[in-house]
Structure 1
């Protein structure tokens, strides 16, 4: 499925938002869109307890119905629909292997704008070797754009910036390529954010050393600049803002997500005795970001 964006759908508001986001991204990429509904058969004895009998969505008809709606809203896009059976996390992870991008919905947290990654989404993110984007319910095209002069979000205005959380000590080309390419397709700015730990004396409540803080900030900004210089040359028309700030990276990224079209974070392939997992920064961003989140796996 080279040149394909794959989206997992189940009829929920989250998956509907994911399908629309995936359609817009497929248009930007010039790719096909494939909708997959993964149905895991429920033992008859368990069906009444799991609510299977009262589901409003026919799994056999769901992807076709959603695909038809996407075609009406995106008439120039090639859209196909598939209904398959199996364990959702395993099937979706397998589908992602041959796709440019996998897009999934994520449950919204009540009380504030954010994510609550379900077990399927988290299992997929932890295993796949292709970029995965998580989209919350209610996400609309206008949310990716700046407000118009009257203060109202509008899909006719410029895109908000793409925000990349970068580990400048261990930068990876796959993460940088994805972030720069995403910003370039949108003709918007890329904000690269790196958080560095506060000096130990802060934790112990000792007086700050402004001179030491300044040297640490200068050193970190110099490292960040060296990492980004080759990518600035590769994407000369992309406006790049690099920020080095003291503090917990996850908190800085979550705060920056409020003004982002898309958050981009990396996830390192790691061996673990209990199986694949997500790093703490990526885990926090997935659960609390105020924008769609792209997780890019890397070595």
Structure 2
């Protein structure tokens, strides 16, 4: 069952939005969906007099209600559920290792654009090499996108068989190998039949800060070089996915800022993070961190070397 989609479920509005998004993704991929609720007993905060059986019954009900809703939305979807006893981040990371994709819910910042990324979600993202998608809570862009995708799939006869208005934005570092990031982004764009925007932000060399004045020719040359590197990096993927319409955005500045802006009209934002660990443990890079906390659309985090 390596290719199934797994989603964390805890009965909250955030997890319901994640489950709906995950169900649509599983339908697009033609794979089963697994609902996961981790019970961290006896470390979970509980009300006085609430015993293990009460916690188990609540977890079972949350899983059953979510499964019932998703089966009604997608009668053809194979939905299963698991309720492991473990710390949530560890349990979800273990599930991710056995899945093609893990989906987690994240609370939106009210009327503001962005996420509140909880400790469980953040710990899970950095603890697994599997792709992880964070989805905002119900009533936000992510839930609206999932519902729109459901409606479009019904209208055209199946998921992914029509063109999607919203595309996918992917952050690309032209100075590092990021095949896993590009593979995920192109596969998702092909699966959804939507355009792909590749974004790269470049900076002037540190020594340039000491120059007495800016040289426009130098800046233009750096920009052209970055554009050429991005075109070269995308060339084999364009050949492999000729059906995907690709646009490139190369600019001076932070890729995270442009990806956040692009997320307002995107169906999905894809960013990479390094597998390597620092002395302080695994962490997100600055682009992934900015996008995770401020994007309006679901965000896929892809681990790469």
Question: Is the 1:201–1:208 Cα contact (8 Å) retained in structure 2?
Answer: no
Change (3 A) 1:38 1:221: same
Change (3 A) 1:43 1:216: closer
Residue 110 of structure 1 deviates from its aligned partner by 3.0
Q: Aligned pair 1:230/2:230, yes or no?
A: no
Aligned to 1:160: 166
Q: Which residue of 2 aligns with 1:106?
A: 106
* Residues 94 and 43 (structure 1), Cα distance of their counterparts in 2 relative to 1, 3 Å cut: closer
Q: Structure 1 residue 47 and structure 2 residue 46: aligned?
A: yes
| 1:203 Cα deviation after fit | 5.6
Q: 1:3/1:90 Cα in 2 relative to 1: closer, same or farther (>3 Å)?
A: same
Aligned partners of 1:243, 1:285: CA distance in 2, in Å? 17
SS of the residue aligned with 2:164? coil
* 2:259 paired with 1:253: yes
Q: Deviations over 1:51-102 (max 9, x none)?
A: 99999x8112211111011000111111112222110000000010110100
Deviations 1:131-187 (A, max 9, x none): 0000000222436869xxxxxxxx987231100001111032111110000000111
Kept after mapping to 2: 8 A contact 1:4/1:101: yes
Is residue 2:283 matched to residue 1:277?
A: yes
Range with bigger deviation, 279-288 or 5-14: 279-288
* Ranges in structure 2 where 5+ consecutive residues have no aligned partner: 150-158
2:192 pairs, out of 181, 186, 202, with 186
Residue number in structure 1 paired with 2:86: 86
- Shift in Å, 1:212: 1.7
What secondary structure sits across from 1:261 in the alignment?
strand
Q: Quick one: distance in 1 between partners of 2:163 and 2:43?
A: 50
Q: Aligned residue for 2:11?
A: 11
Q: Secondary structure at the match of 2:231?
A: helix
SS in 2 for 1:133: strand
Contact 2:107 2:136 in 1 (8 A): yes
Gaps of 5+ in 1: 147-154
Name the residue aligned to 1:142. 145
Would the alpha carbon gap of residues 98 and 195 (structure 1) be closer, same or farther in structure 2, given more than 3 Å must change?
same
CA distance, structure 2, for counterparts of residue 127 and residue 281 of structure 1: 18
CA contact (8 A) 1:159 1:187 kept: no
- Counterparts of 2:35 and 2:210, CA distance in 1: 53
Displacement of 1:113:
2.0
Specify the SS of the correspondent of 1:42. coil
Counterpart contact for 2:2–2:100, Cα < 8 Å: yes
Deviation of residue 38 (structure 1)?
0.9
Distance in 2, Cα, partners of 1:28 & 1:137: 21
Contact preservation (8 Å) 1:145, 1:159: no
**In 2, Cα distance between the equivalents of 1:186 and 1:29?**
10
Counterpart contact for 2:267–2:298, Cα < 8 Å:
yes
**RMSD (Å) for aligned C-alpha atoms:** 2.6
Cα distance in 1 between the residues matched to 2:66 and 2:148: 25
Aligned to 1:32: 32
Dislocated runs of 4+, deviation >6 Å = 51-55, 143-146
- Cα distance in 2 for partners of 1:19, 1:99 equals 15
Matched, 1:75 2:75: yes
